[in-house]
Structure 1
Amino acid sequence: MKPVLKGKGKHIEDAVIAFRRELHRYPELSGEEYETSKKIQAKLQEIGIPYTAGYAGTGILGVIEGNGPGPTVALRADIDALPIQEETGLPYASQVQGKMHACGHDAHTAMLWGAGSLLQACKDRWPGKVLMVFQPAEEFPPIGGAQPMIHDGVFAEHQPDCIFAQHVWPGLPVGQIGVRPGPMMGASDRFEVVIEGRGGHASMPHQTVDAIVVANAIITNLQTIVSRNVNPLDAAVLTVGRIEGGVSHNVVADKVVLEGTVRTFKPEVKQKVKTQFFSVVEGMAQAMGARALIRYYDGYPATENHPRWAEQVRQTARELLGPESTPDVEPCLGGEDFSGFLLHYPGAYYWLGTGLDDQSKQFPLHDPRFQIDERALVIGTELLAQVAVDAIFHLAEKGGQTVE
């Protein structure tokens, strides 16, 4: 009989919350998650799950062996924090200056540990294996941690048939899950443009090439890429988020730096925007007598859910939380490094509702005041474990093959 894990997380709920709060107090940035990694390893030892460590520096792979041969399902949580000074005032707020778990990775890590605990307790009732992937450097585009973990052989011995991840989501209330087939999160490219003009006295602009005026023209014309080159039915965003230039009120600027991001879903749209970006920047600079140095970073690809596994998450959530628990959701153009795993293995990425009842206190991801409703932690723990079990039984019935 397939294990049903609804309600099984209540006896470890306090432990999951305590682990999340411990991680929240002591956040570590991408590539620096050494103490976080040690804490995770200690928690795995506590519940008897064997593991190997050191993937992409601080990544960990826990392996739970079921009752005999069968499919292999991977579950992933990211473990890094952000360079943000926390302003929540919570009793377990970050104790590290300028660092905060403002994207919920502390919750992801704690829930994956909790799911592992539930699966370990019933491992004699399901076949195959569950892989627990604790990934560093999710907040470190364009490199990230997914591809480095794969390069370091995280799946060299145990190849997953499918892989799943969840993300806390303040836009959904506790008890609701956001999942859809196809694009879930966007491709996230980044750019830096250095515009080199010719400085001089503000009273004699004819002797200069004003880098600020050139930058203004470039920014204005960049906005025509999405509005006039991209099909209105396709999604694309081009944002200039930082401008720096000039030294004084009476000096024509000789240099301006622009930084920004490009977000898309479709690879062909991404390429079109990138091509037009270079054309606009270089063309405008040349036409105005300046020079533009472009650094364009191809970031994480779009996070594309496999239709079968997105539907599996939906079915599992409805069985666990009720038929109203999976509202229709639109994809988000935020970037997500889990896409690096989905390039190699089919799976699904879903949002876990963590919205506060008092919306006046709810702030978005990456905000220094960001909080989650911790009642969602036991839901996420049970759901993640049940998704793994349901996927294993589905694959076992289909002979290990993913079907549409």
Structure 2
Amino acid sequence: MRPNLKGEGKQLAQEIIELRRWFHQFPEVSGEEFETSKKIQQKLDEYQIPYTTGYAGTGVLGVIEGGSPGKTVAIRADMDALPITEEANLSFASKIEGKMHACGHDAHVAMLLGAARLLSDVKDQLHGKVLFVFQPSEEITPNGGAGPMMDDQVFAEHTPDVIFAQHVWPDLPVGQIGVRPGPMMGASDRFKVEIEGAGGHASMPHQTVDAIIVANTVINNLQTIVSRNVNPVDATVLTIGRIEGGYRYNVVADKVTFEGTIRTFKNETKQMVKDRFFSIVHGVTESMGAKATIEYYDGYPATVNDEKWAQRVKNTAIELLGIDSTPIIEPCLGGEDFSRFLLKYPGAYFWLGTAVPGVEKQKPLHDPKFMLNEEAIPLGMELMAQTAVDTLYDLQAEENSSHAKPLLKKVANYK
């Protein structure tokens, strides 16, 4: 009989919320998740769930084997915090100066541990395996932690047939889930450009090549990529987030540096924008007598959901949370390292509504005042656990169906 986990998260809610608060108080940034990893291992030991460690440094893989053989489903949570000083007025605010779980990864880890506990209680009823992937370094694009985990053979012994991940989402209320087929999150490239001109006295600009003027012209021309080169139906963002140059009011600057990001969904759009970026930067600077040095980083690819498994998440959410729990959503151009898992394994990425009630404008992810509604935590662990259960049963049904077809054909031909 297929386990039904609806409501089962309530009995674990306080424990998992307290666990989330512990992670929140002791955030660790990308590549430094040592105590986080130890805490995860401690809880897996307590739940008697076997695991292996050391993937991408601090990553952990927990494994539950069901009572019957079958396929394998993986669920992933990211572990790392951000180098942000917390400004949220919480009793369990970060105790580590300059570091904060401003993207909800503390809740992701806690909910995955809660899902593991729920599934451990019903493992004898499962057909196959469930993998619990605790991933470090999601926030450190372009390298991330997903690729290094796979390089370290995280799935060498247990290979997932399907993989899922969820992310807390302040734009949705508790009880709603965001999921769709196709793109969910964008490709996230980064760049840094140094413009080198020729400095001099502000009163004699004819003797100089003003790097500030050149940089300004380059930046203005870069905006035409989105407005004039990209098909209007293909979402693209090109943002300059930082610029630095100059010495004082009466000196023409010889160097300017600016940095930014490019976000796209389609690979062909990403490549076209990248090509135009290089062409404009070099073309404009050379035409103005300056030169440019470009550092360009191909970041995370777009996070693209498999239609079949996005529908599975939606169906499970409706069964757990009701018919109105899966509103129509638009994708987001934020970057997500889970995309690298989806390049190798089919699956889906979805959002868990965590809006704080009574707040007219929710603080976004990565904000120093970001908060989430902890009432979503038991729902999140139930959804992850039930999605894993339902997927294993879907895969088992497919397996049985494929085995039955040759037998039916043989019987039909028997005289």
Q: Considering the TM-score relative to the shorter chain, is it more than 0.5?
A: yes
Output the amino acid matched with 2:63.
V
1:190-234 deviation per Cα after TM superposition (whole angstroms, max 9, x unaligned): 000000000000000000000000000000000000110000111
Runs of 4+ in 1 over 3 A off after TM superposition: none
1:228-286 deviation per Cα after TM superposition (whole angstroms, max 9, x unaligned): 00001111110011000001000000000010000000000000000000000000000
Question: What is the alpha-carbon distance in structure 2 between the residues aligned to residue 88 and residue 360 of structure 1?
Answer: 16
Output the amino acid matched with 2:189.
D
Specify the alignment match of 2:279 in structure 1.
Answer: 279
Specify the alignment match of 1:147 in structure 2.
Answer: 147
Q: CA deviation at 1:79?
A: 0.2
Secondary structure at the counterpart of residue 344 of structure 2: coil
Unpaired segments ≥5 residues, structure 1: none
1:308-347 deviation per Cα after TM superposition (whole angstroms, max 9, x unaligned): 0000000000000000000000000000000010010000
Question: What is the alpha-carbon distance in structure 2 between the residues aligned to residue 347 and residue 392 of structure 1?
Answer: 13
Specify the alignment match of 1:81 in structure 2.
Answer: 81
Query: 1:1-400 maps to which residues of 2 (within 5 A)?
Result: 1-360=1-360, 362-399=362-399
Q: CA deviation at 1:399?
A: 1.2
1:82-109 deviation per Cα after TM superposition (whole angstroms, max 9, x unaligned): 0000001100000000000000000000
Q: CA deviation at 1:400?
A: 8.5
Question: What is the alpha-carbon distance in structure 1 between the residues aligned to residue 294 and residue 18 of structure 2?
Answer: 46
Task: Tell which structure's C-alpha radius of gyration is larger.
Answer: 2
Aligned residues: percent identity?
67
Question: What is the alpha-carbon distance in structure 1 between the residues aligned to residue 189 and residue 157 of structure 2?
Answer: 32
Question: What is the alpha-carbon distance in structure 2 between the residues aligned to residue 15 and residue 165 of structure 1?
Answer: 22
Q: CA deviation at 1:361?
A: 6.7
Q: CA deviation at 1:68?
A: 2.0
> Which stretch has the larger CA shift, 361-370 or 166-175?
361-370
Q: Is the contact made by 2:183 and 2:305 (CA closer than 8 Å) also made in structure 1?
A: yes
Specify the alignment match of 2:409 in structure 1.
Answer: none
Output the amino acid matched with 1:27.
P
Q: Is the contact made by 2:74 and 2:163 (CA closer than 8 Å) also made in structure 1?
A: yes
Normalising by structure 1, what TM-score? 0.99
- CA 1:204/1:401 → structure 2, altered by over 3 Å: closer, same or farther? farther
Q: Is the contact made by 2:303 and 2:336 (CA closer than 8 Å) also made in structure 1?
A: yes
Q: CA deviation at 1:360?
A: 4.0
Output the amino acid matched with 2:352.
L
- CA 1:401/1:140 → structure 2, altered by over 3 Å: closer, same or farther? farther
Output the amino acid matched with 2:224.
T
Output the amino acid matched with 2:130.
V
Question: What is the alpha-carbon distance in structure 1 between the residues aligned to residue 399 and residue 290 of structure 2?
Answer: 62
Unpaired segments ≥5 residues, structure 2: 403-415
Q: Is the contact made by 1:161 and 1:400 (CA closer than 8 Å) also made in structure 2?
A: no
Q: CA deviation at 1:142?
A: 0.2
Question: What is the alpha-carbon distance in structure 1 between the residues aligned to residue 348 and residue 373 of structure 2?
Answer: 23
Question: What is the alpha-carbon distance in structure 2 between the residues aligned to residue 284 and residue 145 of structure 1?
Answer: 37
1:3-44 deviation per Cα after TM superposition (whole angstroms, max 9, x unaligned): 000011111101110100000000000000001100000010
Output the amino acid matched with 1:355.
A
Output the amino acid matched with 2:242.
R
Q: Is the contact made by 1:71 and 1:400 (CA closer than 8 Å) also made in structure 2?
A: no
Q: Is the contact made by 1:16 and 1:110 (CA closer than 8 Å) also made in structure 2?
A: yes
1:331-376 deviation per Cα after TM superposition (whole angstroms, max 9, x unaligned): 0000000001001000000000000112247300000000000000
Question: What is the alpha-carbon distance in structure 1 between the residues aligned to residue 19 and residue 9 of structure 2?
Answer: 14
Output the amino acid matched with 1:129.
K
Question: What is the alpha-carbon distance in structure 1 between the residues aligned to residue 386 and residue 400 of structure 2?
Answer: 18
Question: What is the alpha-carbon distance in structure 2 between the residues aligned to residue 339 and residue 362 of structure 1?
Answer: 26
Secondary structure at the counterpart of residue 170 of structure 2: strand
Q: Is the contact made by 2:197 and 2:290 (CA closer than 8 Å) also made in structure 1?
A: yes
Q: Is the contact made by 1:395 and 1:401 (CA closer than 8 Å) also made in structure 2?
A: no
Question: What is the alpha-carbon distance in structure 2 between the residues aligned to residue 68 and residue 140 of structure 1?
Answer: 39
Aligned residues: 402
